[in-house]
Structure 1
């Protein structure tokens, strides 16, 4: 089979040892490279897209490209103004795709060139798979189709009831955490080298996924101020009262979790406004920041929360397990909290439909304005669905069956990702997918 892998900085070096195994099995491996500083060691079938030499003239806008622009972190956070490069890369990626005619394309769904690759794969009926953590069970990942959270195939492995019950207990009582929270990162020296490498790439023309260092410095300074301002007006616990209490845990940005998979709700300022506007008077919305909050914590968001009478900011030091028992309903776009709520029978509603909504006690909010009040009323009347222990076991097994053993990360973020055993696990998963096509 012909396989095309999309470069994604350090993730390239997780894919590389996997591709060496796949080549030995007879597969023809190709690479599409956007950032020339992160080249694989392969000498053949490496398709490097040159950086644009001048601004392109956009003769006619393309809805698919414009959709990618909406999710782009450079546009949304790093003040990039000219958008002609999206159209330049769109043409180049399509030409490479048509030239190779791959059977599968593998890559993330984060950077603009990956999203353009996804757009072109859809147009030309090529399956694009994004290997990414399934969050729970830990040490596992799924192949997600295109730019969605829809898993493709899976190992069909089932946990015994005993194993499932133990895992449920660990998740509910927070004795474990997803892989992305249990990292073994690079040293400070390696981190410094990486910053130099990215700056060098920027100077040499890679201005499309690499932020302007001065703008990033300015944003980092503002981020620190925003954290302080947020915590100044925040409380560290849920206020005891008879009021109905909703929790919205902020999702970090820029991240594919929200910017891509939750694209319609990527503006969290507007989302919180909408939630507040649709709350009955006796309902309070608590907004919890991620302990490592990034650019989602904007001055505008602080303004929205502080000026809303029925909205309360929670302090960065507030622990989820300390407040969740006092919360009546959780709302999230694509957060891991949904899985935790399902297994704890805590009422939860998501704004994007995922595998988590196969659990009866995880409701998909198709229309916030029409459905939120009804869900609140169902919780108040104690008619919001609850699931029994066997249904919890079935749910955790759905996650297990649609995933594979392996840690998807990169050697800069987590050195465990390129251990011999993990590479063997990853190769086994790839073989399963390719063998079932």
Structure 2
């Protein structure tokens, strides 16, 4: 089969290992490169997109391009104003895909050139798959379709009752965390090498996925200050009051979780404002920041939570274990907290429909202003917790739609490059490539 891989900085070297093994099985490998500093080493055809010039940019109105622009991290978080290059890259990618006509495209759903590729793959009916952790069970991943959280195929592997119960116990009692949350210490030398490589990329013309070093410095400084301001007025303990308590855990940005998969709600400040306006007088909305807060902690959000009487901000040091027992309901867009709530029978509602909503106790909110209060009333009148067997069935839904293997970034996690892990991943790739 003809396979196309999309460059994504250090992930490129990870997928290069997989591509090399797939080539040995007879597959024809191609690469689409946006950043010239991250070239795969394999002896495959590499199509490098030249950086745009004033002469190469031609505006062609396209709603799919506009949607990518609206979700772009450079535009939303790093103050970039010019959007002309999106149209240049879109035209190049569209033509390249049409000429190559690959059987499958593999890549992330984060960077703008990946999202443009996804849009064009949809239009040309080319399967685009994003291999990404399925969060739970740990050590597994799914192939997600295009820019969604919909799994493609799956291993159909079932856990035994004993193994499923062990997984459930580990999740409920927080004895384990998803692979992407596991700490991966990186040496200072490695960090400096990374910064130098990005600086070289920027100097050589890659100013589209790489922010200006000066802008980056200022934003990081502002981020640090915003965390301090947030915590100055935040609470560490939950008040023991009779109010109905709703928890919204902030999702870190920029991240595909919220900016792409949850793009309808990527403006979390606006989402929280809408939630606060909907809730009746006897409800309190608790906002728990991500322990590794980034740019979602804006001045506007801080002002909102400090000036709305029914919003309470929680301190960064507040543990989820100390929060959940006090909550009547948890709301999330696409957070991992959904799986944890499902298995611990904590009322949970999601704002994006995913595989998690297959669980009978995980509500989906289609229209916020219409659905939220009806869900609250329904839960209050009759909440139906999952039985032990239903929890086992749900875990096996996740297990069947996923594959053994860890998808990670070799910059921060060298273990993902181990021969055993690469072998597991190649096996999974091969299974979906069978005609």
TM over 0.5, yes or no?
Answer: yes
CA distance in 1, matches of 2:117, 2:93: 6
CA distance in 2, matches of 1:73, 1:88: 18
Question: Is the Cα contact below 8 Å between 2:59 and 2:87 reproduced in 1?
Answer: no
Question: Is the Cα contact below 8 Å between 1:52 and 1:88 reproduced in 2?
Answer: yes
Q: Which of 23-32 and 184-193 deviates more?
A: 184-193
- The change in CA–CA distance for 1:213 and 1:144 in structure 2 (over 3 A counts) is same
CA distance in 2, matches of 1:296, 1:103: 37
CA distance in 2, matches of 1:252, 1:63: 27
Question: Is the Cα contact below 8 Å between 2:247 and 2:331 reproduced in 1?
Answer: yes
The Cα shift of 1:60 comes to 3.9
CA distance in 2, matches of 1:407, 1:185: 17
SS of 2:105's partner is strand
Question: Is the Cα contact below 8 Å between 2:104 and 2:126 reproduced in 1?
Answer: yes
- The change in CA–CA distance for 1:31 and 1:60 in structure 2 (over 3 A counts) is closer
Alignment-derived partner of residue 12 in structure 2: 12
SS of 1:246's partner is strand
The Cα offsets for residues 55-102 of structure 1, whole Å up to 9 and x where unpaired, read as 766544210000000110000011111101000000111111112110
Question: Is the Cα contact below 8 Å between 1:133 and 1:142 reproduced in 2?
Answer: yes
The Cα offsets for residues 113-164 of structure 1, whole Å up to 9 and x where unpaired, read as 0000000000101000000000000000000000000000111110001101
CA distance in 2, matches of 1:295, 1:207: 19
Alignment-derived partner of residue 391 in structure 1: 390
Alignment-derived partner of residue 241 in structure 1: 241
SS of 1:37's partner is coil
Q: Does 1:294 align with 2:294?
A: yes
CA distance in 2, matches of 1:87, 1:265: 25
Listed as ranges, the matches of 1:192-341 within 5 Å are 192-341=192-341
Alignment-derived partner of residue 404 in structure 2: 405
Alignment-derived partner of residue 346 in structure 1: 346
The Cα offsets for residues 396-428 of structure 1, whole Å up to 9 and x where unpaired, read as 000000000011012102111101110001001
Question: Is the Cα contact below 8 Å between 1:185 and 1:415 reproduced in 2?
Answer: no
SS of 1:46's partner is strand
Alignment-derived partner of residue 83 in structure 2: 83
Listed as ranges, the matches of 1:398-437 within 5 Å are 398-435=397-434, 437=435
The Cα shift of 1:379 comes to 2.6
Listed as ranges, the matches of 1:75-224 within 5 Å are 75-224=75-224
The Cα shift of 1:380 comes to 2.4
- The change in CA–CA distance for 1:55 and 1:302 in structure 2 (over 3 A counts) is farther
Unaligned runs of 5+ in 2: none
Unaligned runs of 5+ in 1: none
Question: Is the Cα contact below 8 Å between 1:106 and 1:130 reproduced in 2?
Answer: yes
CA distance in 2, matches of 1:67, 1:59: 15
CA distance in 2, matches of 1:144, 1:192: 33
CA distance in 2, matches of 1:376, 1:352: 17
SS of 2:408's partner is coil
CA distance in 2, matches of 1:164, 1:244: 33
SS of 2:41's partner is coil
Question: Is the Cα contact below 8 Å between 2:134 and 2:402 reproduced in 1?
Answer: yes
SS of 1:342's partner is helix
CA distance in 2, matches of 1:184, 1:200: 25
SS of 1:412's partner is coil
The Cα shift of 1:191 comes to 1.2
